[in-house]
Chain A
């Protein structure tokens, strides 16, 4: 079974702090994703990485950055946390596929971040 773990289930940070959310997968998947989930808005893609050191912006990248130095680890960084970044953050992975195909994503349990 694919295992996707996230560094924290719950996190409370203050406005202006730098926040690191970490995601680790054990299935050697090429693709990794960061989403945020908010009531009434569903899941929105923040960033996507298809290989080590490679990243693509998703729909809402503003205020976030990512890092992928190793294949199994994908970090989401909030450079200066703000209250509107209070949300549930979900990491997902997917195996390599040829372009034009689709894939199944495997999600972690999520990190509920509160910025005060």
Chain B
């Protein structure tokens, strides 16, 4: 299984762009990279997913280099409500099995 490594915590001011990097050196050929956001007392919530290059949606961008050994979640102009734990997930669905690895999460603190 692909092991993921993320920074334990990050701090940012409101309005700044935040980049959180996840390392996954032994990612498998068919693995996808997914990021989730979790607020206290809630389950994680899907943010974005990608396989290679760049993916963008209305809340975040995901950058994946050609070797796919890392990925970077980019949050543009964060606000106080973006304070949460962000998880990087590497894996794939194999039909009858789930090969998944969650990172330990990055706690993002946004202040004024």
Contacts and interface: CB of A to CB of B under 8 A. Distances in A.
- A and B: real partners? yes
Nearest to B34: A102
B31 to A, nearest CB: 8
Contact of B104 (A33, A42, A100): A42
B94 interface: yes
A103 B30 CA distance: 13
Contacts, number: 77
Contacts of A35: 102
A113 to B, nearest CB: 14
Interface residues of A, number: 34
B13 interface: no
Nearest to A105: B46
A48 B46 contact: no
B93 A104 contact: no
Given A31-B93, A50-B96, A100-B94, 6 more contacts: A44-B102, A45-B98, A100-B92, A101-B92, A102-B32, A102-B51
27 contacts: A4-B43, A31-B93, A33-B98, A42-B104, A43-B44, A44-B102, A50-B96, A50-B97, A56-B96, A56-B98, A58-B98, A90-B44, A98-B95, A99-B94, A99-B95, A99-B96, A100-B92, A101-B92, A102-B49, A102-B92, A105-B36, A105-B44, A107-B44, A107-B45, A109-B43, A110-B41, A110-B42
